[in-house]
Structure 1
Amino acid sequence: MSSPVPPLRPTISVQLGARAPADKEAAARRKAELAAVADAAPWRASWLLHAPHRLGFFLASCVLVLASLWWALVQVDRATGALHLAGGLPQIIVHGTVMVLGFMPLYFAGFLFTAGPKWLHVDAPTATDIRTPLLLQAVGWALWLTAGVTAQGRGLALGGGALALGGLLGMVGHFWKLVRASTLPDRLHARTVGVAGVVGCISLAGVLVCVALERYDLARLWVLTALWGFIVPVFVAVAHRMIPFFTSNAVPLVQVWRPFWVLGLMLGASVFEVLAVWIEGLAAPGTGWLLLRGLVELGVAGMLLWLAVVWGLVQSLRVRLLAMLHIGFVWLGVAYALSAVAQFAAVYLGSPVFGWGGLHALTMGCIGSLILAMVTRVSCGHSGRALVADEVVWTLFWLLQAAVVLRLIGALPGASAWWITAAALLWFGLLTAWSWRYARWYGKPRADGKEG
């Protein structure tokens, strides 16, 4: 009798097991070689046109750094009186407009023209397709900031603002083309972004008309309308769609939970804040209104903080890049809570107290943190690098949190102007370091050798 044929499966398993480490080592070496080639490549502006996120994020970073530098210098001048800065517009209008409508729409472009086509199942535009509207915005905001240090700069500001408005109109129009081209039944998030973009265009036009008429009190109302009617809804829509998705992919046992009624409540809260801007801007608010606003904002704050926990806040803290998103979202709830405190304080003390605290918890804490997290994520993923927040990014993120705390202290009654100056300088320094790091990537090939 012949001996039985030995089983083949164990032999094959052993052979595969022997090859696997070698294959992994070879892949790791190849990846390291490609990354070294990318890092050693010269920075070229032409690479900015290889993907929408490259151009959008690079231009946004340029505007962000310039705006932050100017505002840091303004704060140093206010604290010391040494720089004698003078501009053709009130500094608060220059600052508020560029911080709300300057760099953030450009960051939106980098993200929405990368992720938006995937949401809608349509062909993605190239960077060349959106180059003109993005460049118009960047040049326009550079002129706007120049007007902030030019004594007779109102005309320059209006010219720069007109360029920025033309660019924003073109960007929003291009996004609406993607929405209309989609045949998916669920386009709610994209439509929300599109409607918010229209509000942003109307708000910027309102700012420019008021600047032309020298009605800076009304210009401020339009800036706040852009914040609550454009910027916040875009972030809310993106957070509602992406945070549960990212969390469920990275954290075990956390399911995707994002019912549309939650999005509706968050958008409704933004609409309420827009109404509050105009109600309080055009007439002196009474006690009843202040109490109503405070109660509504307190309820919204509770809902948002509850939602942060439901979305996996605690579990996310083990994954840095995910934790950055969740912490940024928590600041949205904190912003509403601080605004509610300001309303109650106005009722019981007879004057507004800590009003700027809630606003900066929103802009620096929530929006600043979410920009840092989302741009880092897209930049890493679309440059062929590891999708992680390394020590450098993690440190910069916590420096950002420190800057927010400094600014909140500066909003307290009787606080020294140096608190705000320190916050502005720290904000400028950390975001310049962060922007510089990724701006170098945008002008070089991907680290994995792929296109894009």
Structure 2
Amino acid sequence: MRSIPIQPLTASPHPSPRDRLHSPSRWQWSWLLASPHRLGFFAGALMLSVSALWWLLVLAARWGHAPALPWALSPSLAHALIMGFGFMPLFFTGFLFTAGPKWLGLPPVEARSMLSPLLASLSGWAVFLMGVHTLAPLAAIGLGAVAWGWTGFTWQFAGLVRASRVPDRTHARVVLGASIIGVASLWAAVAGLAMDEPGWSLAALGVGLWWFIAPVYAAVLHRMIPFFTAAALPVLDAWRPMWLLWTWLAALGAQPLLGPWARVSDVGTAFAVGFNLCAAAGALWLAVRWGLVQSLRVRLLAMLHLGFVWLGIAFGLQAVAALVWWVSARSVDLSLAPLHALTLGFLGSILLAMATRVSCGHGGRTLAADNIAWGLFWGLQAAVVLRLLGATHWTGSTGLVGLAAGLWAAVAVAWSLRYGRWYGRPRADGRPG
């Protein structure tokens, strides 16, 4: 794979600010290549909407509200793969190739260099979805293209880390290490589909969630939340000791091991309950230490901090699920509740907050959450609560799952349409990028 091209500091391939002010304001594909965040976020928004609408259709068909769908792959496995690996890595690329060079003291990256792996990923998901409903080997081929795309992105980011000479590359190295695990997880999931071993693919997805997706979030948030908070609220300090990052990564890394142990051993259950209660208390304490209460005065900042609270809730629900599993003699499984608190609550809320912030800042607009962004964020919070209630097995929980899926799809599509319009137009302030 070729190394990523880096723009020289003395030249820019983009139109000058004056040219931009006089350029057509209609949406154009070419503007997606003006900045990595435009291209990565547009692709991520596309996958976000497609995956949400696809799952809503699946549920509608399951409950007789739409024509029945043929299946060549387990619906739960297909759902897990596309929600776990579908859109988040694409948003990662937009952020990492925009912020990464700044972290590493390097010149900006050309968005054009991201095209090949990005197109491989998008076309791979299209083939994957066709295979899910027609032919399982086709789904494996599609996921293989996705894995190839992420391998390309990881190689490119590794080139940036290697080229950097700044003393502090810790966060970038954590992201790179997690991305390499993501490469291995994706290829392992491909192998599971190819060999008709769904358990292998699910295990690979679990590793990818806890050792790839979540650690990337941890590294970015450890660096950015204190910085954003101190910038908006100078009364607070940008507190981010490195031991905090390593402790956070250890708490995440233990989850794929604790879960299986807790399900087969009383000792494992006791350890998992205690460990996750401590992790929950630590995450909630950190949310307060980072300025949760103070952040509520600034909507865009509040979105980040409130999203972070879901991490503590997810750890707490992990403990509750393990305890209920033990108390009920392994007959009541609430594991979907902590899973969705983590994925839909923590990962989804932070994604919405960070992507909104980057889109505003790099779109030449005010760094603020307007009524639309604020409403979409609270729509997402409602979807999370409905989904958690739907995981309790109470009467009517099926309807709650459907409502959560519909609300999630509405938020995903509305956010994508709103911000996707920005990516194909010049910056509002006329500056390059």
Calculate the TM-score normalised by the size of structure 2: 0.93
Per-residue deviation at 1:142?
1.8
Q: Distance in 2 between matches of 1:279 and 1:223?
A: 18
The corresponding residue for 2:103 is 119
Residue 406, structure 1, aligned to residue 390, structure 2: no
Question: What secondary structure does 2:63 align onto?
Answer: helix
- The alignment status of 1:286 with 2:260, answered yes or no, reads no
Q: Secondary structure at the match of 1:185?
A: coil
Tell me the CA shift for residue 147 of structure 1.
Answer: 2.4
Match of 1:429 in 2: 410
Q: 1:420 aligns with which of 374, 384, 401?
A: 401
One-letter amino acid of the counterpart of residue 409, structure 1: L
Structure 1 CA distance, aligned partners of 2:65 and 2:412?
Answer: 25
Whether 2:179 is the aligned partner of 1:200: answer no
- Of residues 78-87 and 213-222 in structure 1, the stretch that sits farther from structure 2 once superposed is 78-87
CA distance 1:153–1:392, change in 2 (3 Å) = same
In structure 2, the residue corresponding to 1:388 is in which secondary structure?
coil
Aligned to 2:5: none
User: Following the alignment from structure 1 to structure 2, what is the Cα–Cα distance between the partners of residues 397 and 377?
Assistant: 13
* Residue 326 of structure 1, CA deviation: 0.3
Distance 1:300 1:436 in 2: 37
Give the direction of change, closer, same or farther, for the CA distance of 1:35–1:318 in structure 2 (3 Å limit). Answer: farther
2:25 corresponds to: 41
Secondary structure at the aligned position of 1:155 is classed as: helix
Q: Which amino acid is the alignment partner of residue 133 of structure 1?
A: P
Shift of 1:82: 4.1
- Name the count of aligned residue pairs: 415
1:277–1:138 distance in 2 versus 1, CA, 3 Å? farther
Aligned to 1:317: 296
| Corresponding residue for residue 130 of structure 1 | 114
SS for the counterpart of 1:86 is coil
2 CA distance for matches of 1:382 and 1:451? 9
Partner of 1:439: 420
Distance 1:60 1:142 in 2: 14
Q: How does 1:138-217 map to 2 (within 5 A)?
A: 138-148=122-132, 150=133, 152-217=134-199
Moved more, 53-62 or 342-351: 342-351
Match of 1:218 among 197, 200, 213: 200
The answer (yes or no) to whether the contact 1:67–1:99 under 8 Å persists in 2 is yes
The offset of 1:36, in angstroms, is 9.3
CA distance in 2, matches of 1:415, 1:108: 38
Q: Give the counterpart letter for 1:395 in structure 2.
A: G
Distance 2:264 2:65 in 1: 35
Does the 8 Å CA contact 2:261/2:269 hold for their aligned counterparts? no
Deviation of residue 187 (structure 1)?
A: 0.9
1:90 paired to 2:79? no
2:47 is matched by which residue type in structure 1? V
Q: TM-score, normalised by structure 1?
A: 0.89
Shift of 1:100: 1.1
Distance in 1, Cα, partners of 2:21 & 2:351: 28
Q: Over the residues paired in the alignment, what is the CA RMSD in angstroms?
A: 1.8
Distance (Å, rounded) in 1 between the aligned partners of 2:102 and 2:75: 40
- Other-structure match for 1:356: 336
Query: Percent same amino acid at aligned positions?
Result: 46
Match of 1:18 in 2: none
* 1:259-302 CA distance string (max 9 Å, x none): 0111111100111012235657xxx5111101111111110000
Paired residues of 1:100 and 1:227 also in contact (CA < 8 A): yes
* CA distance in 1: counterparts of 2:246 and 2:153, whole angstroms: 25
> Structure 1: which amino acid aligns with 2:200?
L
Distance, in Å, in 1 between the alignment partners of 2:107 and 2:390 is 47
Matched, 1:239 2:221: yes
Residue identity in the other structure for 2:73: L
Which structure has the bigger radius of gyration? Answer: 1
Q: Tell me, what secondary structure is at the counterpart of 2:392?
A: coil
8 Å CA contact 1:77, 1:84 repeated in 2 = yes
Asked if the contact 1:144/1:157 (under 8 Å) is kept, the reply is: yes
From 40, 53, 77, the equivalent of 1:69 is 53
2:311 is the alignment partner of 1:332: yes
Q: Distance in 2 between matches of 1:174 and 1:82?
A: 43
Which amino acid letter does the alignment assign opposite residue 345 of structure 1? V
What secondary structure is seen at the aligned counterpart in 2 of 1:270? helix
CA distance in structure 2 between the partners assigned to 1:434 and 1:373 by the alignment: 11
In 2, Cα distance between equivalents of 1:357 and 1:297: 14
Deviation at 1:423, TM superposition (A): 0.4
Corresponding residue for residue 276 of structure 1: 258
Deviations 1:92-145 (CA, angstroms, capped at 9, x unpaired) = 111111111111000000001111111111122110111111111111112212
Distance 2:395 2:21 in 1: 49
